[in-house]
Structure 1
């Protein structure tokens, strides 16, 4: 199980470093029902990652590892395709980045978060985890790696759970700060939000490139093993 977890740690870290979801949960925490709304957002986020990863475990099944203990061919091909996809997304983001970070703009829906119902907040967390252009490919790749590890299903589930926890650290950190510090956390969280909003596009573009290259390398290694 240690090897399988080691294979997905980098992917989990890539999901955890997600500026836009961090900004979103900080805005959620600033709503009148900040704490319960923040818990709902985090629960939705973790459910989105878990569901996407579980789908890949089901698709892969216990037979996805080849007989010589190397990853199945489809896993290598998937890693390769996802790597190319992330590189393309990274190039597109880099071209569209503002010349001045101060010109960066957040999505318009963020201005309406304070009017979101609990159901919408839960759904927002789920969508930012499972339907995000960076997080979805990384979670799919992680699920494929786990399913091809040859581990018993119980250990696969534990590995996926650890992946989800690590991948959720970026979103859980603001929530933990608020729960531990109360009102004193507001200025700190505000600074985090401002910084993440300013540098969101540049950070995401770099992450797309780095993680895309990682998946390309994994795919080539899988296919030539």
Structure 2
């Protein structure tokens, strides 16, 4: 189980560093119903990652490991290889599209409407940004495949997935914790975080896409070459 946790830590950290979802929850916290909206966004984020990871585990089952050598099955290597190529390509595209001057970076237009979103829409937004995100979805699927390939019992698989989800949620949970526990001081802290994430979103995503894509490529090649 310890090896399985080690295999998913880097992937979880990659999910946790998600500038746009962090900006989104900060904007949700700034609404009149900030406590409710922020909590719903964080809950939806956790649910989205857990559901996607659980689906991957159900599909992989205990067949992610070879029955003879306890090595990851070939399909796990092929999946990681494909996801690695996908992320690396996304990284290259994101790097080309990033603004030369970070001060010219613009947030997506839908973010301007967060203050008018109902709690149900906030929850749906959290689900989309976790389970349907171009970076987070491949990383969560790769984590599920890694857990499935570890050859551990189902209860331990669930435990490792829980660890992954907790670590992967730290990025969005941090603003919520600041809002809940820092009172009036939270406004200044969250404003600084929001501005930094908005300015550097493109560059951060490009580097994460590329580095994590290379990691998955390496993992996939190692499994297929074994």
TM beyond 0.5: yes
Distance 2:159 2:56 in 1: 14
Distance 1:221 1:117 in 2: 47
Distance 2:64 2:200 in 1: 39
Distance 2:65 2:204 in 1: 34
User: What's the CA shift for 1:99?
Assistant: 1.1
Name the SS for the 1:182 alignment partner.
Answer: coil
Match of 2:91 in 1: 90
Q: How does 1:1-225 map to 2 (within 5 A)?
A: 1-66=1-66, 67-225=68-226
Distance 1:37 1:99 in 2: 34
Distance 1:2 1:176 in 2: 28
Q: Any unmatched runs of 5+ in structure 1?
A: none
User: What's the CA shift for 1:62?
Assistant: 1.3
TM-score (norm 1): 0.99
Could you give the per-residue CA deviations for residues 180-213 of structure 1, whole angstroms, max 9, x where no partner exists?
Answer: 1012100110000000000000000000010000
User: What's the CA shift for 1:149?
Assistant: 1.0
Distance 1:224 1:44 in 2: 38
Could you give the per-residue CA deviations for residues 118-150 of structure 1, whole angstroms, max 9, x where no partner exists?
Answer: 010001011000111100000000001101111
Q: Any unmatched runs of 5+ in structure 2?
A: none
* Structure 1 residue ranges (4+ consecutive) displaced by more than 2 angstroms after TM superposition: none
Distance 2:184 2:123 in 1: 23
TM-score (norm 2): 0.98
Distance 2:175 2:63 in 1: 40
Distance 1:179 1:224 in 2: 49
Q: How many residues align?
A: 225
Name the SS for the 1:136 alignment partner.
Answer: helix
Name the SS for the 1:150 alignment partner.
Answer: coil
Distance 1:116 1:51 in 2: 24
Distance 2:158 2:183 in 1: 34
Distance 1:63 1:123 in 2: 32
Could you give the per-residue CA deviations for residues 82-108 of structure 1, whole angstroms, max 9, x where no partner exists?
Answer: 000001101111111111001100000
- The alignment yields a C-alpha RMSD, in angstroms, of 0.6
User: What's the CA shift for 1:64?
Assistant: 2.1
Distance 1:49 1:42 in 2: 11
Distance 1:93 1:31 in 2: 30
User: What's the CA shift for 1:13?
Assistant: 0.2
